[in-house]
Amino acid sequence: MDNWENAEQKRTIRTKTGRDVEITEKNIILVKDGLLGFDGLENYALIPHGGDDSPFLLLQSLDEPDLAFITIDPRLFAADYVPDLSAEDIASLGIPDIAQAVVLAIVVIPDDPRRMTANLQGPVIINVATRTGRQMISRSVNHKVRHYILGDPAAALTGNA
């Protein structure tokens, strides 16, 4: 990352989906220790994803072109979501408190996108000032690894019966 002369310097990367995207230094995030299960892969770019006005951001690995994660600000569909993190976790990013961090949830979009889920138990917390982030674990039992973004399909079925 030290080869960037200034924030305006541009570079084109190809996403996992084969799209060429122009990014600047501002798009780049260092994910400390990598995401769980993807140790050692720390360099990512965060870029808009999913068409015009899409709420999704693609966390595209800069180490592995075929590795990318769709993410979202979980407060869009869970307005009162605040991950319950230890002070040690928060301090590891150099932010005084969680309110000053960008919080992203990793999304799984299955073949039937109506059943898409977001991981509220393992959010990615980002310090925007330093562009570093880390995947952390929320201690709240209400924060599920698989939160249905459009509402629980099973609940919707029984609700209409």
Partner 1 sequence: MLVLARHLNESIMIGDDIEIIVVSVQHDQVKLGIKAPRSVAVHRKEVFEEIQRENLLAAQARGDATAGAELLKKHLKKPEPPRS
Binding site for partner 1 (CB under 8 A): 17, 35-38, 49-51, 53-56, 58, 67-70, 76-77, 85-89, 106-114, 116, 119, 121-122, 135, 137, 139, 145-146, 149-151
Longest dimension (CA), the chain: 61
Query: In 83-107, which positions are buried (b, 16+ CB within 10 angstroms) versus exposed (e)?
Result: bebeeebbebbebeebeebbbbbbb
Cβ 121 to partner 1 shortest distance, Å: 6
Of the pair 4, 144, the CB lying nearest partner 1 is at 144
- Tokens for 23, please give them: 């990014």
Cβ 2 to partner 1 shortest distance, Å: 28
Cβ 107 to partner 1 shortest distance, Å: 7
Under 8 Å between Cβ of 12 and 60: no
Per DSSP, the three-state class of 44 is: strand
Of the pair 117, 127, the CB lying nearest partner 1 is at 117
